[in-house]
Amino acid sequence: MWSSYPPPKLPHKDRFPPESSAGVESLGLAARGQIAMPVGLLTLELHLPEAQSLKDKRQVLRSLKDRLRRHFNVAVAEMDFQDVWNTSVVGVVTLSNAEQHVEESLQLVLEEAYKILGPLLVSHDVELL
User: Within a domain: residue 33?
Assistant: no
Number of structural domains (the chain) is 1
Question: Is residue 90 a contact partner of residue 61, using CB atoms and an 8 Å limit?
Answer: yes
User: Within a domain: residue 62?
Assistant: yes
User: Within a domain: residue 8?
Assistant: no
pLDDT values of the chain reduced to their tens digit, one per residue, 129 residues? 444 445 545 444 444 444 544 544 555 555 556 668 999 999 999 999 999 999 999 999 999 999 999 999 999 999 999 999 999 999 999 999 999 999 999 999 999 999 999 999 999 999 999
Task: Flag whether the pTM goes above 0.75.
Answer: no
* pLDDT score, position 30: 55
- The neighbour count for residue 51, using CB atoms within 10 Å, is 21
User: Within a domain: residue 103?
Assistant: yes
Residue type, 100: Q
What's the CATH number where 43 sits?
3.30.70.1120
User: Within a domain: residue 19?
Assistant: no
Q: In Å, what is the CA distance from 57 to each residue of 48, 62, 105?
A: 7, 9, 26
User: What residues make up the domain containing 120?
Assistant: 39-128
